């Protein structure tokens, strides 16, 4: 396991960073390109471990995918041109790969076995396999198809009207993908709106997706027409640099090409409410995903409450927000966020325990955490990513504001979504 020591910068963090491509959009571009008719060229693709798992799985299903320095070229097979994989499909650490791919595989009459790493083995799959079984796919797995390894043989699907108990883009997307070959119109309704990259991108691939409030409707029988995709920077990765800039004295961090899809910008709302010194300049773009340049300066922050429909719009940013809240004046309450328990780790437990170990005043609740801000440095010491990329990056940020260095164990987990994370931090420090 790799270790990294993070020290306080001598001066502030200053400079301009182009954050890596959006993970959610990169996965979808490869999957949709694979099941489209024609060739899809993807620029800005995130070459992180999770998205590389998606490429590997699609190749095993018979898709020719070329990896060039500056782009990915997917030679689509069409939804009816995929082939039975000879080996088990291994999704590594990637929840998006296994859940979205399950939706695609539900449309296929051949057999598949899906596995992942130790973290994937603990994550709930029933939320996806349940509705896919209702559509008539044959799915089995540990605990009656709730856990990996999963076995999927699909085909002959019926449309369903599904009311999801969770606001999850992975659940919604799996059902939408399966509905491409279902008999009739499928509807998915969520309690709150989750990220809508699937809906936007399918429209670009000329699929008719109807969105009304929190319901998405899709008619079976659609074919995807290949299109080129430009992947914007990942706001979930940008979030760590935004927090770094806000909490480190004498800083000015400029992030360009950041994806600012409104279903993802909860972190911007939070930073604004906490009083961050931030400026956003929206780009003029014809892409189906909006982008902006965001400038963050060192900020005096105040605690706030984060709950309700804001949660799905910033669920992946909560580890970064927890660090931010330790440096705010007053109390920050995060609630309605029980979903954190089923991410790459139980992010309520991992973040609370580790921030406590560095001297933060934080406690776990049933559905979130409460942080008493202290506007004083953390203590430094040894922390662990526990194999969770976002926990690793959040804990690394603590080194910027700690009295003594932070030693992060298991740093390689960060390669899942932000392989250049430490390189970028160093670039900002050297200026």
Applying CB under 6 A, the residues found at the interface with ligand S3P are 24, 96, 168-170, 173, 194-195, 315-316, 339
Distance, in Å, from the CA atom of 393 to the CA atom of 377, rounded to the nearest integer, reads 18
Provide the minimum distance between the beta carbon of 194 and ligand S3P in the complex, in angstroms, as a whole number. 6
Provide the minimum distance between the beta carbon of 99 and ligand S3P in the complex, in angstroms, as a whole number. 7
The one catalytic residue among 22, 50, 234, 316: 316
CB atoms near residue 249 (< 10 Å): 12
Exposed/middle/buried for 68, CB within 10 Å: 0-12, 13-18, 19+?
A: exposed
Q: Could you give the C-alpha distances from 15 to 29, 362, 428, 430, in angstroms and in order?
A: 30, 31, 5, 9
Closest to ligand S3P by CB, 196 vs 254, is: 196
Closest to ligand S3P by CB, 169 vs 260, is: 169
CA–centroid distance for 19 within its chain = 14
Distance, in Å, from the CA atom of 145 to the CA atom of 134, rounded to the nearest integer, reads 13
Lateral strand order in the sheet of 305-306 = 305-306, 331-334, 368-372, 361-365
Q: Could you give the C-alpha distances from 408 to 275, 358, 364, in angstroms and in order?
A: 29, 12, 22
Closest to ligand S3P by CB, 96 vs 402, is: 96
Q: Could you give the C-alpha distances from 63 to 58, 73, 80, in angstroms and in order?
A: 6, 11, 12
Report CA Rg, the chain. 21
Provide the minimum distance between the beta carbon of 6 and ligand S3P in the complex, in angstroms, as a whole number. 24
Closest to ligand S3P by CB, 6 vs 218, is: 218
Q: At what angle do helices 126-134 and 95-105 cross, to 10 degrees?
A: 10
Q: Is 336 a catalytic residue?
A: no
Per-residue DSSP letters for 125-169?
Answer: -HHHHHHHHHTT-EEEEHHHHTEEEEEEE--SEEP-EEE-SS--H
Provide the minimum distance between the beta carbon of 170 and ligand S3P in the complex, in angstroms, as a whole number. 3
Closest to ligand S3P by CB, 40 vs 170, is: 170
Respond yes or no on whether the N-terminal peptide bond of residue 149 is cis (omega within 30° of 0). Answer: yes
Provide the minimum distance between the beta carbon of 300 and ligand S3P in the complex, in angstroms, as a whole number. 30
Closest to ligand S3P by CB, 168 vs 261, is: 168
Degrees to nearest 5, angle at CA 342 with 354 and 163: 150
Provide the minimum distance between the beta carbon of 24 and ligand S3P in the complex, in angstroms, as a whole number. 3
Active site residues: 316
């Amino acid at each position: 396991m790799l270790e990294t020591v993070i020290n306080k910068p001598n001066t502030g963090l200053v400079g301009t960073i182009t954050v890596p491509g959006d993970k959610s959009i990169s996965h979808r571009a490869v999957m949709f390109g694979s099941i489209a008719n024609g060739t899809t060229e993807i620029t800005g693709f995130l070459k992180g471990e999770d998205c590389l798992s998606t490429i590997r799985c699609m190749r095993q299903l018979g898709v020719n995918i070329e990896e060039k320095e500056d782009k990915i070229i997917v030679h689509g097979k069409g939804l009816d041109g995929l082939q039975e994989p000879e080996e088990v499909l291994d999704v590594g650490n990637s929840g998006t790969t296994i859940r979205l791919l399950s939706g695609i595989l539900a449309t296929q009459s051949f057999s598949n076995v899906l596995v992942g790493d130790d973290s994937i083995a603990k994550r709930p799959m029933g939320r996806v396999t349940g509705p896919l079984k209702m559509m008539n796919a044959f799915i089995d797995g540990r605990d009656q198809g709730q856990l990996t390894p999963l076995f999927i043989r699909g085909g002959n699907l019926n449309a369903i009207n599904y009311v999801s108990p969770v606001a999850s883009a992975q659940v919604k997307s799996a059902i939408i993908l399966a509905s491409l070959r279902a008999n009739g119109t499928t509807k998915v309704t969520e309690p709150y709106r989750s990220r809508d990259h699937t809906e936007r991108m399918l429209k670009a691939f000329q699929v008719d997706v109807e969105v009304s409030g929190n319901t998405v409707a899709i008619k079976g029988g659609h074919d995807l027409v290949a299109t080129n995709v430009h992947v914007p920077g990942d706001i979930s990765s940008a979030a760590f640099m935004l927090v770094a800039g806000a909490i480190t004295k004498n800083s000015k961090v400029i992030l360009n090409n950041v994806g600012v899809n409104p279903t993802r910008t909860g972190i911007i709302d939070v930073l604004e409410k906490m009083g961050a010194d931030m400026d956003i300049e929206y780009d003029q773009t014809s892409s189906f995903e909006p982008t902006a340049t965001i400038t963050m300066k060192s900020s005096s922050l105040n605690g706030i409450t984060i709950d309700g429909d804001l949660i799905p719009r910033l669920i992946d940013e909560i580890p970064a927000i927890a660090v931010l809240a330790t440096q705010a004046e007053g109390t920050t309450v995060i609630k309605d966020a029980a979903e954190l328990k089923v991410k790459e780790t139980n992010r309520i437990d991992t973040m609370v325990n580790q921030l406590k170990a560095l001297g933060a005043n934080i406690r776990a609740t049933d559905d979130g955490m409460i942080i008493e801000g202290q506007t004083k440095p953390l203590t430094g010491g040894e922390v662990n990513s526990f194999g969770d990329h976002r926990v690793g990056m959040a804990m690394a940020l603590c080194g910027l504001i700690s009295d003594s260095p932070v030693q992060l164990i298991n740093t390689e987990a960060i390669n899942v979504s932000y392989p250049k994370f430490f390189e970028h931090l160093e670039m900002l420090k050297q200026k």
